[in-house]
Amino acid sequence: MRRWLPLLFLALAAFTPWQPVTEIPCCKSIAYSTWNPTLNSSAITYSSGNLVWTCGSGCSSNYYAVQGTNNHFTGKFYLEITATTISGNCCYAIGFSPAGAAPSGGTSNLGYGFGIGYYKTGAVAFNGLTATTIASYTDGNVVCIAADLSNGLIWFRVNNGNWNNSGAANPATGTGGINIATLATLNLFPAQSSYAQSGVAGTLDVGASGFTYSAPSGFGAWH
């Protein structure tokens, strides 16, 4: 019996007591941004899970705009907005606006009255002025947006074209961006706006089901 005791002690020393299994978090849900249906009047309708914003028959006068539900003030983000139906509208714009700045039947539009707006004509408005003019866009075009809020820079492109309509511009390297430093200190929401026309529609895509085009390196989806 004694000769087995050393072996028994060795076996006990090597035994690892039972430990409770620690639960590993998995599959945390992401609250993807949609258009915010609480901000507009009855003239506006929403569809496809609030991703499509349409200005109805009540939009025959004044400016109408909408914001997304999620905001950021720092970081690098990518999103796409499709100009679903914009033909004939003089002042359709896509961009960003700070909290509470999206009017419903108001008197100002993206970029000229609040936020930054990229107009279908190619004009980019910011701080009440046209900052630059890049590529124009029309019905069905996908407007890609790369926003470096930490450094106050923004890039736009139409479909898979050149960023800011320049072969030298590149969000991944921080070159050729439009300076929005004074705006980037605010909490910004994706936004679009139109003026005095029914039937105008735009579709928000923040990557919940994947993007149409690839995001630049270093830029995450706008959740």
Per the CB < 8 A criterion, the answer to whether 68 and 35 are in contact is: yes
Three-state DSSP at 175 gives strand
Q: What phi and psi values does residue 56 have, to the nearest 5 degrees?
A: -85, -160
Q: pLDDT by residue (tens digit) across 30-89?
A: 788 999 988 766 778 899 999 999 887 777 777 888 889 999 999 999 999 999 998 777
Which pair of structure tokens corresponds to residue 60?
């025959």
pTM attached to this predicted model:
0.83
Q: Report domain extents, the chain.
A: 31-221
133-177 pLDDT, tens digit per residue, is 999 999 999 999 999 999 999 999 999 999 999 999 999 999 999
CATH superfamily membership of 31-221: SPRY domain (2.60.120.920)
Strand partners, 92: none
